[in-house]
Every structure is written in C-alpha cells, then in structure tokens.
Structure 1
C-alpha cells in the first residue's frame, strides 16, 4: 500500500523509529539485552513445544492450545525485535511506509490469536472441572481445531481491518515515531487526517477482541471457582486451583498491558511509558509464558528435562 498525498504537504514514504533510547552509547547494551531476551524467548517456547510433543501426558486439549500459544509468542517477538536489532546494528532508524504497515498487520494478527487462544484455554478448564463427564466429547480434536481456526479467522479480520483503515489516513508532516515498532496509537499521532473514525473503530473492535474474551474468561473461572470450592478434600482443591493459576497469571499480564496500551488514545502525548508497555507486549509476555506454565507443573518440568537431556525415546 502506498501513502496518499496529503493536502498540506508531501506524502510520507518512511518513518523514523526512535527506538528505546536515543543515546547512541547505550545502543550496544540495548542490543545485547534484547538479543538475549529474543534467544531466551524463542528457546523457551520451542522447549515447551518439544515437551508437549515428547510427553504423552501432555497430549491433552490444554497443552494443544498451549503449543499454539507458544507458536504465537515466537511470532509476536519475531515481528518486532529482529528488525529493531537490525536498526541498532546498522544505525539506521528508518522504516518504509509499507514495512511499517506490514509489521502492524502481523503484530495485531498474532496478538489477536493470543486473545482467543487464552479464551479457549479458559473454556477448556471450565469443561474439565465443571463438566468432567462430557469433557472428552465437548473438547474433541475436531472442536480443538475449530477453536484454533476460528481464532485465526477473527484475528485476521481484526488485523486486516485496522491495516486497511490506517492506510486511508494521510501522513504528510512529522514522521518520527517515539517507539521501537509501528503500532496504531503512534501512527494516529502522526496523521494529518482526522483519526476520530479510526479511534472509534479501535475501541469498537477492541471491545470484541478483548472485552468479549475477558467476559468469557471471567465467567468461566467464576464457575470453576464455585466448583472447586465444593470439593471437600483440601488436596483436591489445591490441585484444581494449581491447574488454573498459571493460565490466570498469563491472562492478567496479557490483558493488563494490552488495555493500558490501547485504551489511552485520548492522551495528548504518548510517553516513554508506552515503550515500557510495548516491551511487556512483545518481549516480557512471550518470555514469561514458558516459565509460568512450567513453574508449578511437574509433568511439563519432567518433559523439559527429557528434552534437555535428549532422552526422546523414554515414556
């Protein structure tokens, strides 16, 4: 997509991403830290995928969704961090208009799939704990595939909608983005067209993409909590809650940072706080997910050790 010519100036053909820090002396430090974070995140999520494949105990719907979530996390950090590292090495902070919109599309696609996968995982926990007798039929392999396919379809529609909508705006003035990747709030600030309709669209679609999953997740866990509290055994209650705590932690971090980032578009100036939230969205969340899911799960830990030691043939 090519930018349209604005009424008050020449159309912008590229943007300047200021990155995390503007001090050149700190760029090597930032490069090393984020390269390490990228390697750890990709390695951690690949390890989770390998553990799910190796351990028969993990061949369940919950870990099927977790495996898909790991793929999304690898994609999410790959869309943003390697390009940032490349700009640090080349000392070139520009990004073409088309590349900026492409990055925005894939970022929202992958994050959108995350939204619905987390919802599917909450539904899985609801069925497993509240309706165990019908769990195997209600969460069959066909249902799992339909839920993942629907997640991709909804996320693709959302990402395409925002990308097409932002491409209709004129960028004919400032082209400096105070961030390390292209995203909607920053581009709205630079447009010389009215962004009112785009912001309304973001709120409306955001309610569907984030609000609806949050309501479904909360509703699922209200039923789960009620069912768990009816378990007479203290050990049984502890085990049931422990299977849900990892997912709830990931949900809280994911939606907390996302809501902060996109629900404050009315602020006069986007600040360095947005960079911190961006780090959470693109680096911290994907890096923490493998740690959170393996921390209190002995089956995942055992499978990870088998992967590390190369003992693939053991059952």
Structure 2
C-alpha cells in the first residue's frame, strides 16, 4: 500500500465535508476532474473505497467516515501548529473568507476592514456580499455577518454594529396626497414599496409597540429587492418604504423623507460576525475578531 500525501488527505477531508467535488475543487483551486482523479488515486493507495459518487452528490462511505473522524483532529492540530508559527513570525498569511449581506459587507468596509488590511498586508480578505442566508461552512467561508436574529444558535457570535431598527418612510409629497398612517393597520389604505427577499418571498413588515405586535404583507404596485432602491422610490413619491434606518438617514436629514409609525418601529439586534465554535479558529479570523473587540471592549462573544 502506497502512503497517501498530506495534500490528498486534506483534499479528501474537504470533499467529504463539503459533499461536493465542485465546491472542494473551487476552494482548492484545481479542476473538478483533477480532484476526482486524485481521490481515486487515494482510494487505490489505501485499497478501500472512501466516497460514494452519484451524478448529483458525493458522500463518505463507512470507511470514509472512519478516516474523516480520525483525520479531523490530526489536521486541526497541524493547522494550529502552522498558525502558531505564523504568529511567531509576526506576519499573518492566507485567505480569510467572509459572507454577508450587502449592508453588512458595506459596514465592514467602513469600519474594521481598513485597519485589518493595513495591519496584515500578507492576508487576502475575500468578502462576498450575498442576499441569501447561506450555510457558511458548507459554502467554504470562515465566517458570516448577519443581523443577530438570523445568526444560527450553535455559532459563536461577535457584535459588529450597534442595535438598529427599520423605519417606515415616505416623501412629504406622498404624505400630502395620501395622508399619514397613524397605526400599522392604516397601511392597507396606502401604496407601499415592497421588498422581494433573495428566497423569492416578499418581506413581511413587522411592527411592535409595548406588548402589541403587528405583521403585514403590505399592499403596493412596486416591489424591489434593494433597500437603496426602495429609499429612492420613496423619495420619488412612489409609496411608503420600510428600510433599515441607516439607508434612509441622509434623506431624512435633508427632509426628502419623513418617518412614519416611528413609535411602532422597535430596536432589533444589530450585525454580528459568526463562526462555528467546534473548530479551530484560523489565525486570520482570530485577528479580525480581535480588531472588532478593540473597537468596542464591551462587545460580547455571543
């Protein structure tokens, strides 16, 4: 039996964890056919089948599961040792991949990213703005950034922003023509600029005041998939929009928009960076987290 290479074992772990040759090949920077050939070579060297293959999926066999269970701790220890060497060398290297919504990535770019790239010029920071709420592990990311209410409960979460709220806003011209809603139920008599989520569903507007809660799929002839465009549509008098306050702040300050139903718009948890707690944290990610906590020493871990 030939001894497998470390690269082949690392590639096997990635294929088994991602359950996809395409995803694993993309992360490794090789072609799918080359990766498949390498895995067949590994199986030949070991004399056992490690992966079930179909036209649509790949999964570990029983032998593959046993190997994966033993490999995980060993490769994690190796990663940890290499990270310690990198720390001793005072220069972080590698790639840090973070997935988040467009607004979340924009916030990172305005806050922690400039300092991170200045302090660690040998690190490659790969930020992906994605409207979908993805499985960051399955998609090959080191971490994600989302609103606190969307962070999976089994993840470590580190605060990125203050709490925020959504505001219902409309132009003065629209309110002069159609009146001002006093309670959420009044929205049924208004034109609303609705939002289409990446899943294809429309976003339900949620309001709360004291112990009262109200959710509505608002009426309206216009549906958009961008908070920025919704603000522009509201400025143009096309209806009432419900957007994160940060998107409307400038227009509110310039009197191009007016907030309505403000007492029904509660504060919600802000943005959090999140990552799995059951894996070794890469040095680059740890450095990023440390910078987040330096900006606000009171930031909790989740």
The bucket for the TM-score relative to the shorter chain is under 0.3
**Greater fraction strand:** 2
Question: TM-score w.r.t. structure 2 length?
Answer: 0.23
Q: Give the structure, 1 or 2, with the largest relative contact order (CA under 8 Å, sep 6 or more).
A: 1
- Structure with larger Rg: 2
Question: TM-score w.r.t. structure 1 length?
Answer: 0.22
**Greater fraction helix:** 1
